[in-house]
Structure 1
Amino acid sequence: MKRIFKIILNVIPRPILIRLSYVVRPMLALFLKGSTFTDPIDGKSFRSFLPYGYGNQRNNVLSPSTLSLERHRLLWLYLKHETDFFSAEKKVLHFAPEQAFYKRFMSMKNLDYTTTDLNSPLADVKADICDLPFKDNSFDIILCNHVLEHIPDDTKAMQELFRVMKPGGWGIFQIPQDLKREVTFEDDSITDKKERAKIFGQYDHVRIYGRDYFDKLRFIGFKVEEVDYTSKLSEDDIEKYCLAKGEIIPVVHKD
């Protein structure tokens, strides 16, 4: 199964995968129904989750029902238990909306919810993150997760995120990150897709972020909290929800 999923991820373009998943997902959820692991986003339980990864495959990480990964489930738990995201009236901008969240956030009456991306079929506004069609100080909350590693000029993208966030606003900008690496690594000369997947973890990534990612956000003007939310959870919950222990949630604020 791991080999099949790897081939699918690397051969079929992501927009097509998103559309196909709506057909396949109910069958996977039924086939893997059980009680060992639980997706906190919809509360459904399974005997196992699915493998996932463009390069090295991770076992037991993809939820059959919501198609959430470790980072999505961690973010959901954080938003639910540590913020007023689900109750306060907020204007939200969501980049490259994840399937696990899209319909749920769209249906929330307290949110004025806008999605944006260049290619995603789920996006309301087709836009370049480095040249956003929104006015200054427009949004209370910005979700931009696993996007910046795809952007050659991530400094410009961060400046645009800062520009459109309201003073007093906040956001979560998750990225794939190697916390053992002090400095971010990027090399524009690596263009082969297989080599990119091997080095950067995915064929369409342009860098591996190190610990300096947080300081780069601070240089742009954000205040940054490096939140290890798994440290607040029990070992049983980390295992039950299939989370990545020690993963950092970058929570940013604009004064």
Structure 2
Amino acid sequence: MNNLASIEIENNSEIGLVVSSRTVAKELGRQHKHVLEGIDEMIKNSTADISALLISNQYKASNGKRNREYLLTKDGFTLYMFNIQGHNDFKLDYINKFNEMENQIQNRLPGSYKEAVAQLLETLENNEQLQLENNMNKQKIAEYEPKASYLDSILQNKSLVTVGQIAKDYGMSAQALNKLLHDLKVQYKQSGQWLLYSNIHGEGYTHSSTKEIEHKDGSSSVRMNTKWTQKGRLFIYELLKENDVLPIIEQ
């Protein structure tokens, strides 16, 4: 893994924390022009406006010429890296460094004991949230790793299903199935969210997306919506069958 102290993320006074596409190219061992072409293609094909995440910029080269680059925010970096196979250590190191620098910027020296206690509680909550986001990122990165198995080629166009839909097949609630999958060491709960154990992250069983939720007090948090693929549904079927739990149609 990279040393976090050596990771090249800059705090741009106008934009915030960003990493240059030149740095991404260097770390991936690619030509910068190929990274630029990849980002150009992402922006062109995206149905949403992602220009605020992948910011066009210019830099002065050693020969005095001004060349093109992109400045990637944390979300822009994550979005781009989801399209790149492998390099998981690099991906997680940079995401962790983004989180660490954001946390440092947010922390301020308290002016009183009361403020110090309030800041400590906030820091603990932030650390817990960062850990949760890191675990969610690990799961999403593993899910996005391309697989080339014959089974995947069959299932890739099948629809995604919620845990509630699967639970109905067994005549149980989503809560009951989640608890059962927890007991069988498939998933664990952190901050009210179910996450897969790392040994099955990359098996193609789930597909997850995240969204930011604004609360009434003005704070925000990130929630992850995870659905099961048909491959994952087969995995659950085989696992429950081994434990003498059968769907209603087979009972």
Q: Give the structure-1-normalised TM-score.
A: 0.23
Quick check: which one's helix share is greater? 2
Question: Which structure's relative contact order is higher, taking Cα pairs within 8 Å and 6+ residues apart?
Answer: 1
Which is higher, the Rg of structure 1 or of structure 2?
Answer: 2
Q: Give the structure-2-normalised TM-score.
A: 0.23
